Chain A
Amino acid sequence: MFTATERPRTAGEWVQFAVAMLLVAAMFYPTVWMVLSAFKNNREIFRTPFALPSVWRWENFAEAWKLGNLGTLYLNSLFVTSAAVTLCVGCATAAAFAFARLEFPGRRVAYRVMLLGLLLPPPTVAIPLFTQLRDMGLLNTPWALILPGAAWSLSLTVFLMRSYFNTTRTDMEEAAKIDGANTFQIFWWISVPMVWPAVLTMIVLNTINIWNELLFALLFIVDEDKRTLPVGLIRFYGYHNTDYSLVFAALTITTIPILLLYFILQRHVIAGLTATTMD
C-alpha cells in the first residue's frame, strides 16, 4: 500500500483520477442538491437551484417531521425491521447448520424447496398473501410485514449461510461432540460463534432490504400511523408535492441517517449487499 502511494502518479493516473472525481461528483450531486434545497424556501429552489441557501431554514425540518409524522414512521420501520431480521437470521442460521452439518430425513428435498424462493419475485404472491393475511387477522398489523418479510428473506440467507458453513472446518464441533456435548450445545456454543462474521453480514443485508421494502408495506398496511418509512415518504410526496422545500426536508431526514450509517459501516454493508454474487 505504502509503496503505491509513495511512487509519484503518472500523467495517465492523474487523468484517471480526474475523470473518476468528475463522475463520482456528478453521481453524488443530486444528494447534495437535495440537502441544500431542504434548507431553502420554494422561491429559492426555483430561482437559484445551484446556490447555497440565503438563510439556513432549520425550521423546514421541524415542520416536515411534524406534518409527516416522521417520528412514528421511524419507530414503525425500526420495529418491523428489527423483528423481521432477528426472525429471519435466527431461523436461517439454525436451518443452514442443519442442512450443512446434520443428517435427517428429507434434508435434500427441504433444502431444494427453500432455494425455490430465489427464483420467485415477491410480486407473484402479493395478492394471495393479502387475502391470507386478512383471513389470519394480521392485515394492518406489524406482523403482516414481519412474517412475510422474514419468510421472503429466508431463501437467500439460508443459501449464503450454508455456503459459509461449508467453507468452515468441523474439527471444533467434532471435538465438542466427543466431549459429550449435545447437538444444540454444539450449535449454540461452537458453530454460531464460528460463523458470526457471516451472521453479521446477513444482518446487514436483510436490514437494508427489509428497511427499504415497499410492495408489501404498501398493500398490507392501511392505517397512516402504522406505515413504514418508504410508504410514508411516497404518501408525503403525494400530499405535499407542490411544497418542494417540505418534501426535500422529509427526504433529507429519512435518507441522511441511513447514508451516515452506511459510511460508518461501509465495509460490512458492501459485503452484505454483494454477498449474493460470492462464488
Chain B
Amino acid sequence: MSPRDAAAQLQERVRAAAAARAPLRPRGGGSKDFYGNQPRGEVLDTRCHEGIVGYEPTELVVTARCGTPLAELEAELARQGQMLAFEPPRFAPQATLGGCVAAGLSGPRRAAAGAVRDFVLGVRILDGTGRDLSFGGQVMKNVAGYDVSRLLAGSLGTLGVILEVSLKVLPLPAAERTLRLAMDEARALDSTNRWAGLPLPVSATAWTGGVLSVRLSGAETAVNAAAARIGGDALAPAQAAAFWEGVREQSEAFFDDAAPLWRLSLPSSAPAVPLPGRQMLEWGGALRWWKTGAAAAQVRDAAQRAGGSATLFRGGDRAGGVFHPLSPALAKLHRGLKAAFDPSGILSPGRLYAQL
C-alpha cells in the first residue's frame, strides 16, 4: 500500500461537523472500540491518512500518519533493529498508530521503559474546529510551548484528531531471557519491587496463579548475571515470546473468561488488594488486572485505598462510566481543556467522561 495523505479530507469533515455541531468519532482500525465509554457520533475513519513520513534510525525518531497500521510500523522498525519500547497492545491486527496514541495504552515493558506518552515527541492534530496544528517536533529535547503532544496520549479522541505522530524509538535488546519462579502474591510483590531497586535489566514481570515470569533484556553479560541472581527456570525463547505476546494482547489463558476485566493502576509496592476473583500482576506490581464480579464501588474503593485508580477495562456494567471518577477540581480543568481544544464539543463526546 502506498502512503496516502488525506489530511485535507479529514479537515473538511471536522469543519463540517463543527459547523453542524454534529458529533464525530475518530476511529482507526476499531481494535479498541471496546475500551472507554460508549462512543457517540459519526465515525471518522482515519485509515485513509497513512504511511511513514520520516524514519531515520540514527535519529531514533519515526514520524508516521495516524492510519498507519501499528504492525506495519513495528515491522519497519524491527527491520532496522529498533522498536516501540512501550510495547503497545494492538488487540487486533488492524490497529493503527493514531488509535495507539489516542488510547494511551502501554504493554509489558512499560515499568522499565516508559509509557506511550514518554515516547511521544510531537503531534499534528485537527482540533475541534478543524484547525491543523502542530506541537512538539522530531527532537528529544523541546521545551518550547506547553507539552500538548503528551497531553494527546490517552485523550481518546476527545481533544483532537491525531493526524501525525513523531515517536522516539529504541534499539532492540541484544539478548532476552524469561525466567519462571513459583511464589505467592506477597512474595512476588516484594521481589519485583526489590529487583527494580537494583541495577538489573528486568524488562517485564507478570504474576498469576502462583507463578512469576520475569523477562530480562539487555547486553548478554548483564542478562546472564541477572539470571544467575534471580534464579528460577528459563523458558525456551519461542515459548517466552508467545507468553509475553499473550500478556500484551490479552490472549493469555488468564484473560479467557466471561467475568469483567478491571485494570487497577497502583503504586507498585501497594500490598495485595482484597478482592474476590482472579488476578494478574504486571509492571512490578504497578498494574493489577482483576477478573472479578465485584461491584464497581468495591473495586474503585479498593484501588483508591491502595493509592491508585480502577478502570473497567472490558465487559461488566458500563452504564456508570468505566474510568475512575475525577476530583471536582480536576474535572473542572478537564472541562476547560476540552473547551480549549473542542469548543463545540463534537469530538468523541462521552468516550472518556460524560461531561467531555
A and B assemble together: no
B contacts, CB < 8 Å to A: none
A contacts, CB < 8 Å to B: none
